[in-house]
């Protein structure tokens, strides 16, 4: 499938996906199909606002890091005017990457192949033997290609490759309300700790997005060993039962918890030396009520491929668990593999001891050797082989019926103080169904 409208058989398949979803089912083909994958690169990763990093990663003019949107590599750089640019890392002469380092600081990028030079704004700036080789050349036409839209919200940087797409604020919609209570508790905000950890997972990127948008249910079974070895310090099913879902427009969704915190802990269990640094100035009345009501957000997915996780984690034996905050991104690498990127965040205002403990707790839970991570990625690896199986394609659909009418206790919470549709329990898959609905709507849009 090249650029352009989807072919007829793909349209037919996606129509089937939508009628299946209405009945709480999904074809395994979505987890391995090369044609669908190409369509995702075109209709999702070239159209949506995609997360590319945190402002604290490139604080100074000239700072850059390499990032991905879909499978394309970009240089995310703060140019000499202080503007954030997402420059396609492909030379306009023959396509060689003009930047070979993962991060650094530079006013210019010089292509190693023939030596064309670009400013960190992306503009063409010269070439070897210019007077002899390019006398009639208009450099203005030959700058690096760049994302037409870049914007930030609460320190998160997003870029969009579609010049006609809605603004970032509009794209995030009601998610802004939740990002305020997660990341905007004081003016200093949060900062990344080191570089994102990254590793390969033999699965489709959508398995990660699907899990973090609403799958609290899996924790009881897949992560049961954490209860057995005493890491979670309590009854896992009871802990998970304190969660519920909030579904937002646009395919975004959250897993929210309602867990009264023992004194003197504050919001989401932050100890006094941390929550005393929160001024809540940026929050409105409802957002403060959300925090005062002992609510917190455990996880979310912003469509398509950014997730978030904040929870308690063990630090060392005998020490209380610390609250950690992670950003996680599911970077597609073909239909059957993805790269998992994991950023640790810390409050700039918090004491170093707390931040160090939170970092250890986060990396010990999620990361290449994290005790949760080991469980999740093994389970997700089942997706592509199932999608590839001729027999599976002929005979099975995945079940997404939990929480549908009459299936269990799952219901819509009428008195929800925040935006979006909230549920009464975590025992449902509303958020996942809505994520996949958005996915199929995006692929079908012409």
Query: Which of the stretches 76-84, 139-147, 254-262, 372-380 binds Fe ion when contact is defined by CB under 5 A?
Result: 372-380
Q: For residues 346 and 376, which CB has a smaller minimum distance to Fe ion in the complex?
A: 376
CB environment 290-324: b (16+ within 10 A), e (fewer): bbeebbbbbbbbbbbbbbbbbbbbbbeeeeebbbb
376 binds Fe ion (CB under 5 A): yes
87 binds ligand FES (CB under 6 A): no
Q: For residues 125 and 311, which CB has a smaller minimum distance to Fe ion in the complex?
A: 311
**Chosen from Fe ion, ligand FES, none, partner binding at 178 (C-beta under 5 to 8 Å by type):** none
40 binds Fe ion (CB under 5 A): no
- For 131-192, the three-class secondary structure string (H helix, E strand, C coil) is HHHCCCCCHHHCCCCECCEEEEECCEEEEECCCCCCCHHHHHCCHHHHHHHHHCCCCCCEEE
What is the distance between the alpha carbons of residues 304 and 327, in angstroms, rounded to a whole number? Answer: 14
For residue 41, CA distances in Å to 8, 33, 35, 44, 163 come to: 18, 13, 10, 6, 16
Total of residues contacting ligand FES (CB under 6 A)? 9
Segment 96 to 125, residues that bind ligand FES, using CB under 6 A: 96, 111, 113-116
348 binds ligand FES (CB under 6 A): no
The pair of structure tokens assigned to 142 is 């030959």
**Chosen from ligand FES, Fe ion, none, partner binding at 336 (C-beta under 5 to 8 Å by type):** none
The pair of structure tokens assigned to 175 is 């998610």
- Assess contact for 305 and 429: CB atoms under 8 A: no
**Chosen from ligand FES, Fe ion, none, partner binding at 376 (C-beta under 5 to 8 Å by type):** Fe ion
Query: Which of the stretches 89-97, 194-202, 239-247, 405-413 binds ligand FES when contact is defined by CB under 6 A?
Result: 89-97
79 binds Fe ion (CB under 5 A): no
**Chosen from Fe ion, ligand FES, none, partner binding at 87 (C-beta under 5 to 8 Å by type):** none
Query: Which of the stretches 19-27, 164-172, 375-383, 394-402 binds Fe ion when contact is defined by CB under 5 A?
Result: 375-383
Q: For residues 184 and 370, which CB has a smaller minimum distance to Fe ion in the complex?
A: 370
What is the distance between the alpha carbons of residues 97 and 111, in angstroms, rounded to a whole number? Answer: 7
Residue 172 beta carbon to Fe ion: minimum distance, rounded to whole angstroms: 24
Q: For residues 94 and 319, which CB has a smaller minimum distance to ligand FES in the complex?
A: 94
Comparing every residue's Cβ against Fe ion, the nearest one is 376
**Chosen from ligand FES, Fe ion, none, partner binding at 380 (C-beta under 5 to 8 Å by type):** none
Residue 330 beta carbon to ligand FES: minimum distance, rounded to whole angstroms: 31
What is the distance between the alpha carbons of residues 328 and 340, in angstroms, rounded to a whole number? Answer: 7
**Chosen from ligand FES, Fe ion, none, partner binding at 91 (C-beta under 5 to 8 Å by type):** ligand FES
For residue 22, CA distances in Å to 135, 303, 395 come to: 62, 20, 19
The pair of structure tokens assigned to 269 is 């269990």
What is the distance between the alpha carbons of residues 270 and 323, in angstroms, rounded to a whole number? Answer: 6
Q: For residues 115 and 272, which CB has a smaller minimum distance to ligand FES in the complex?
A: 115
Residue 378 beta carbon to Fe ion: minimum distance, rounded to whole angstroms: 11
277 burial type by CB count under 10 A (0-12 exposed, 13-18 middle, 19+ buried): middle
Please give the torsion angle defined by the CA atoms of residues 422, 428, 434 and 439, in that order, rounded to the nearest 10 degrees.
140
What is the distance between the alpha carbons of residues 145 and 165, in angstroms, rounded to a whole number? Answer: 18
Q: Which residues contact 120 (CB under 8 A, 6 or more apart)?
A: 61, 62, 64, 77, 78, 79, 80, 85, 106, 107, 108, 109
> Binding ligand FES by CB under 6 A: which of 93, 103, 108, 393?
93
The pair of structure tokens assigned to 54 is 């945190």
373 binds Fe ion (CB under 5 A): no
Q: Could you identify the residue written with the tokens 């019926």?
A: 401
157 binds ligand FES (CB under 6 A): no
429 binds Fe ion (CB under 5 A): no
The pair of structure tokens assigned to 58 is 């490139």
Residue 112 beta carbon to ligand FES: minimum distance, rounded to whole angstroms: 7
Q: Could you identify the residue written with the tokens 């037919």?
A: 12
Q: For residues 113 and 137, which CB has a smaller minimum distance to ligand FES in the complex?
A: 113
> Binding ligand FES by CB under 6 A: which of 23, 94, 148, 353?
94
Q: For residues 137 and 199, which CB has a smaller minimum distance to ligand FES in the complex?
A: 137
209 binds ligand FES (CB under 6 A): no
Where along the sequence are the contacts to Fe ion (CB under 5 A)? Answer: 376
Where along the sequence are the contacts to ligand FES (CB under 6 A)? Answer: 91, 93-94, 96, 111, 113-116
């Amino acid at each position: 499938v090249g650029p352009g409208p989807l072919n007829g058989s793909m349209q037919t398949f996606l129509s089937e996906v939508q009628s299946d979803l209405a009945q709480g089912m999904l074809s395994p083909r979505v987890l391995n199909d090369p044609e669908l994958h190409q369509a995702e690169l075109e209709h999702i990763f070239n159209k949506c606002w995609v997360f590319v990093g945190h402002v604290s990663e490139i604080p100074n003019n000239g700072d850059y890091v390499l990032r991905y949107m879909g499978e394309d590599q970009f240089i995310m750089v703060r140019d000499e005017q202080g503007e954030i640019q997402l420059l396609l890392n492909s030379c306009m002469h023959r396509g060689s990457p003009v930047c070979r380092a993962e991060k650094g600081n530079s006013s210019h990028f010089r292509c190693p192949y023939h030596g064309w030079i670009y400013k960190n704004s992306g503009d063409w700036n010269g070439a070897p033997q210019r007077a002899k080789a390019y006398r009639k050349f208009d450099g203005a036409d030959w700058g690096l290609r760049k994302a037409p839209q870049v914007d930030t919200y609460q320190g998160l940087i997003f870029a969009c490759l579609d010049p006609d797409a809605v603004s970032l604020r509009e794209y995030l919609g009601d998610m802004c309300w939740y990002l305020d209570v997660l990341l905007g508790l004081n003016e200093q905000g949060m900062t990344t700790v080191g570089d994102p950890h990254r590793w390969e997972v033999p699965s489709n990127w959508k398995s990660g997005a699907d899990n973090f948008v609403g799958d609290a249910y899996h924790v009881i079974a897949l992560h049961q060993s954490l209860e057995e070895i005493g890491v979670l310090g309590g009854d896992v099913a009871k802990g998970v039962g304190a969660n519920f879902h909030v579904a937002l427009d646009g395919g975004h969704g959250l897993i929210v918890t309602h867990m009264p915190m023992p004194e003197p802990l504050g919001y989401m269990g932050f100890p006094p030396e941390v929550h005393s640094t929160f001024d809540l100035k940026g929050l409105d009345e409802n957002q403060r009520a959300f925090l005062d009501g002992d609510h917190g957000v455990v996880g979310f997915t912003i469509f398509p491929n950014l997730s978030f996780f904040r929870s308690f984690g063990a630090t060392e034996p005998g020490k209380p668990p610390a609250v950690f905050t992670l950003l996680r991104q599911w970077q597609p690498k073909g239909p059957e593999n993805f790269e998992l990127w994991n950023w640790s965040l810390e409050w700039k205002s918090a004491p170093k001891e707390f931040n160090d403990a939170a970092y250890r707790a986060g990396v010990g839970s999620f990361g290449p050797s994290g005790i949760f991570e080991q469980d999740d990625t093994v389970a997700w690896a089942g997706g592509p082989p199932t999608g590839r199986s001729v027999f599976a394609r002929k005979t099975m659909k995945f079940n997404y019926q939990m929480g549908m009418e009459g299936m269990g206790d799952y219901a819509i919470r009428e008195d929800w103080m925040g935006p979006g549709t909230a549920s009464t329990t975590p025992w449902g898959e509303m958020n996942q169904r809505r994520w996949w609905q958005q996915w199929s709507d995006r692929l079908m849009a012409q």
